[in-house]
């Protein structure tokens, strides 16, 4: 007996015709896949955009950047133990800058920062006030938009001058204003604005545009009454000497602080890459979590398709029995129902891809974040939609194919 091959064009045409008979049920089945695929693409896009934004923000802080923080933390070559948060001083920063033993560092920027209220006229804002030296712009790659930055003369004279980030200018004086020469009040003291910085495009916590810079000496003695630093930023000579720079500076500070055991260090040194790796790991975990949540909706959509196909098998029991009685083979029945299931998931997958891209674009516009679409996520979504069609369509197809013709014809 010659087995008749499956006419796939006919099977496809018949599958489309069958599905269009009950448009509401078909639409609901497709909707589950659309939501699942779209959610996966949109959430993966959101996670990747967040990761790209954080990476760009970290890189904008400066190139080949090392940051010394007071207190203890694991830092590679030098590992800290219990320590005070006031263990770094201006003398430490000057000693690092002037030491002939440290050959891997270009610039040293001593810093003290604290959030406080800034007032001018009827306007005010709560922002980060950072006490800096003239080396800050070189280490952190800050560009001046108007006026000038803090100078060494300002630091030596403890001048009450300030440089505003672009966001602070907008908050206090309005967008596009030129505040040079005007005054602001910080902790009850009057400061003259001598410059503004070029926007780095940051948002939220840690926004590099939402900062007021004052001389480090003024911040310590006039504003906050402290004799220690929040951090010391260093610019290594190149990316290749970052580890060597950590070692040089770490052991130099151990000697200055009279500590012989690196595990008892009262400071920590973080490289830009350390921060970037930590942020990337965090956002990757966040993206995976979001994708896992979205994948659940895909599973629900697949189960919905299986349920609909099972209902279809029940409704078409007599038709299946008639076809088998007329000579239709088991593989023909399987092909028919499997094709219908795949049509549902493919259609839902394609619509879901466009839905996910559109949702990603809307989210990026609403959150002012980057618009990032990963081709791999689209490919994965398409493959998953095809897999769902086969996986959840196989059981109903097998059940239809295994029906006995006589029993199927008798079904009411």
Sorted by sequence, the CB contacts under 8 Å of residue 200 that are 6+ apart come out as 57, 60, 208, 209
**Residue 238 predicted with pLDDT over 90:** no
Per-residue model confidence (pLDDT) at position 324: 65
One domain, residues 293 and 209:
no
One domain, residues 289 and 397:
yes
One domain, residues 312 and 405:
yes
Considering the domain boundaries, does residue 331 fall inside one?
yes
Between residues 49 and 180, the one the model is more confident about: 180
One domain, residues 124 and 53:
no
pLDDT per position as a tens digit, 243-279? 888 889 999 999 998 888 888 888 888 877 666 666 6
One domain, residues 283 and 215:
no
Strand partners, 104: none
pLDDT per position as a tens digit, 324-350? 666 667 777 777 777 777 788 888 888
Query: Where is mean pLDDT largest: 32-36, 41-45, 62-66, 160-164?
Result: 160-164
Hey, which bits of 6-96 come out as E strands? 65-70, 74-75, 78-79
Per-residue model confidence (pLDDT) at position 153: 95
For 130, other C-beta atoms within 10 Å of its C-beta total 22
Average pLDDT over residues 155-159: 94
One domain, residues 316 and 376:
yes
Interatomic CA distance for residues 56 and 75, integer angstroms: 23
Question: Judging by DSSP bridges, how do beta strands 161-164 and 211-215 pair with one another?
Answer: antiparallel
pLDDT per position as a tens digit, 91-123? 999 999 998 888 989 899 999 999 999 999 888
Of 199, 229, 259, the residue that ends a domain is 229
Considering the domain boundaries, does residue 266 fall inside one?
no
One domain, residues 22 and 119:
no
Average pLDDT over residues 381-404: 72
Number of domains in the chain: 2
Between residues 52 and 365, the one the model is more confident about: 365
Q: Which of 40, 103, 85, 77 is nearest to 296 (CA)?
A: 40
Between residues 74 and 87, the one the model is more confident about: 87
Q: Considering the chain, what percentage of its residues have pLDDT values greater than 70?
A: 76
Domain that holds residue 295: 8-57+278-410
40, 208 in Cβ contact below 8 A?
no
One domain, residues 38 and 126:
no
Alpha carbon of 329 to those of 10, 17, 212: distances in Å? 15, 21, 79
Considering the domain boundaries, does residue 74 fall inside one?
no
Per-residue model confidence (pLDDT) at position 274: 67
Of 197, 229, 261, the residue that ends a domain is 229
Q: Find the farthest-apart pair of alpha carbons in the chain and give their distance in angstroms, rounded.
A: 105
Considering the domain boundaries, does residue 291 fall inside one?
yes
Sorted by sequence, the CB contacts under 8 Å of residue 175 that are 6+ apart come out as none
Q: Considering the chain, what percentage of its residues have pLDDT values greater than 90?
A: 27
Considering the domain boundaries, does residue 86 fall inside one?
no
pTM over 0.75: no
**Residue 396 predicted with pLDDT over 90:** no
One domain, residues 169 and 52:
no
Q: Which of 215-219, 315-319, 338-342 has the lowest mean pLDDT?
A: 315-319
Considering the domain boundaries, does residue 222 fall inside one?
yes
Considering the domain boundaries, does residue 406 fall inside one?
yes
One domain, residues 221 and 164:
yes
Considering the domain boundaries, does residue 234 fall inside one?
no
**Residue 73 predicted with pLDDT over 60:** no
One domain, residues 299 and 397:
yes
Q: How confident is the model at residue 148 (pLDDT cuts 50, 70, 90)?
A: very high
Average pLDDT over residues 186-210: 82
Mean pLDDT across the chain: 79
For 41, other C-beta atoms within 10 Å of its C-beta total 27
What's the 3-state SS for 274-320? HHHHHHHHHHHHHHHHHHHHHHHHHHHHHHHHHHHHHHHHHHCHHHH
Query: Where is mean pLDDT largest: 141-145, 158-162, 253-257?
Result: 158-162
Exposure letters 270-285 (e unless 16+ CB within 10 A, then b) = bbbebbeeebeeebee
Of 170, 199, 229, the residue that ends a domain is 229
Per-residue model confidence (pLDDT) at position 320: 64
One domain, residues 404 and 290:
yes
**Residue 3 predicted with pLDDT over 60:** no
């Amino acid at each position: 007996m010659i087995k008749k091959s499956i006419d796939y064009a006919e099977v496809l045409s018949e599958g489309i015709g069958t599905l269009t008979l009950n448009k509401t049920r078909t639409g609901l089945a497709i909707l589950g896949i659309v939501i699942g695929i779209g959610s996966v693409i949109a959430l993966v896009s959101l996670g990747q955009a967040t990761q790209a934004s954080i990476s760009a923000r970290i890189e904008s802080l400066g190139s080949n950047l090392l940051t010394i923080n007071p207190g203890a933390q694991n830092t590679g070559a030098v590992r800290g133990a219990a320590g005070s948060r006031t263990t770094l001083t201006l003398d430490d920063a000057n000693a690092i800058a002037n030491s002939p033993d440290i050959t891997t560092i270009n610039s040293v920027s001593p810093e003290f920062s604290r959030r406080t209220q800034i007032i001018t006229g009827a306007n005010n804002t709560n922002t980060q006030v950072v006490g800096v030296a003239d080396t800050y712009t070189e280490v952190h790659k800050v560009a001046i938009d108007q006026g000038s930055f803090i100078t060494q003369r300002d630091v030596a004279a403890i001048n009450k001058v300030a440089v505003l980030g672009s966001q602070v200018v907008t908050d206090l004086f309005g967008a596009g204003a030129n505040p040079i020469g005007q005054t602001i009040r910080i902790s009850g003291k009057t400061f003259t604005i001598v410059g503004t910085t070029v926007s780095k495009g940051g948002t939220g916590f840690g926004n590099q545009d939402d900062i007021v810079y004052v001389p480090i000496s003024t911040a310590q003695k006039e504003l906050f009454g402290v004799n220690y630093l929040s951090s010391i930023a260093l610019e290594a000579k190149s990316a290749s000497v970052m580890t060597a720079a950590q070692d040089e500076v770490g052991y130099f500070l151990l000697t200055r602080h009279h500590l012989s055991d690196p595990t008892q260090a009262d400071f920590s040194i973080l490289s830009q890459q350390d921060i970037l790796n930590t942020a990337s790991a965090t956002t990757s975990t966040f993206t995976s979590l979001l994708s896992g949540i979205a994948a659940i909706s895909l599973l629900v959509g697949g189960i919905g398709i299986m349920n609909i196909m099972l209902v279809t098998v029940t409704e078409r029991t007599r038709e299946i029995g008639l076809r088998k009685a007329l000579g239709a083979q088991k593989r023909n029945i399987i092909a028919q129902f499997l094709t219908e299931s795949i049509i549902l998931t493919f259609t839902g997958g394609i619509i879901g891809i466009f839905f996910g891209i559109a949702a990603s674009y809307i989210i990026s516009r609403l959150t002012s974040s980057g618009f990032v679409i990963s081709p791999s996520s689209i490919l994965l979504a398409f493959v998953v939609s095809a897999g769902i069609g086969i996986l959840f369509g196989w059981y109903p197809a097998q059940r239809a194919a295994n029906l006995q013709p006589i029993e199927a014809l008798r079904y009411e």
